[in-house]
Amino acid sequence: MRRVSIDDLKAMKERGEKIAMLTAYDFPTARLLDDAGVPIILVGDSLGMVVLGYSSTLPVTMADMLHHVSAVVRGTQRTHVVADMPFMSYQASPEDALRNAGRFLQEAGAQSVKLEGGVSVADTVRRLVEAGIPVMGHIGLTPQSVNQFGGYKIQGKTPAAAVKLLNDALALEQAGAYAIVVETVPAPLGKLVSQRISIPSIGIGAGPYCDGQVQVLHDMLGLHPEFVPKHAKQYAHLAEEIGRAVREYLTEVQQGHFPTERESFMMGPEGEAVLAELSGMV
């Protein structure tokens, strides 16, 4: 069984076939997504917020990402695994970017990497691609620049901002990126970007016209019900179900209803005889 390749993803755009991408951060979740037929998994630095409890993605380290990417790769056989490059793993220099991106492929087993930015990182993207490292771009609302943006705000709303975003997309394509995540921009701009580039656009809060969509798994499964982004749709409410199951378990343990004989291990007659003898010696 071979993994989905970047050529497969490009061919999906050419056929007009929508691409569904989800995040995953651990082995069992990755295995479920792989079994369900998800073609591409992003091990996002969003793990900082949904798994590690940080208030942003900025504290996430290379060590964090390598650890989680490795687990996801071990849980997949067919799915293409994208490793998100964390803050300051590629911004300082193309050499740093090359070294760290290489670690994701060599040590963690990822098939490609993702980094944020457009024109400003085009040379870095080109350097990675020339070294044989497939790169997914990311434009629009780029969470690692949240302090520069002044918060999580819609991008590309003005004519000048829209032109800049389109130029960012074209620069990434020219640098050799195989796909681009377009995050939190008006739907008409997401459509224009998708039409103007020949590589797949993967939208998140960018409207229905992108070539594919990506969602944070915890959002779509309802694992963090206290906050649901506007661009997310909850396909399940697992926080409620998990809470119900845990409360039922607590009650059964406290009342002595768990474990029962069904969940217990028994001994044969000879073993029970030995225990009886031992009991008499106490």
Where does residue 142 fall: left (phi above 0), alpha (psi -120 to 50 degrees), or beta otherwise? beta
**For the range 88-96, what are the long-range contacts, defined as Cβ-Cβ under 8 Å and sequence gap of 24 or more?**
89/62, 89/65, 90/115, 90/121, 90/124, 94/123, 94/124, 94/127
State the Cα–Cα distance between residues 236 and 226, nearest whole angstrom.
Answer: 14
Tell me the two tokens of residue 165: 């975003």
In 3D space, the residue among 244, 217, 190 whose CA is nearest the CA of residue 28 turns out to be: 217
CA dihedral 124, 129, 130, 131 (to 10 degrees): 90
| Active-site annotation holder among 14, 17, 183, 263 | 183
Tell me the two tokens of residue 245: 């199951």
Sign of CA dihedral 140, 145, 150, 152: positive
**Residue 83, helix vs strand vs coil:** strand
State the Cα–Cα distance between residues 202 and 139, nearest whole angstrom.
Answer: 10
Where does residue 88 fall: left (phi above 0), alpha (psi -120 to 50 degrees), or beta otherwise? left
Give the single-character DSSP code of 206.
S
State the Cα–Cα distance between residues 127 and 93, nearest whole angstrom.
Answer: 11
Instruction: Say whether 272 is catalytic.
Output: no
| Residues assigned a catalytic role | 183
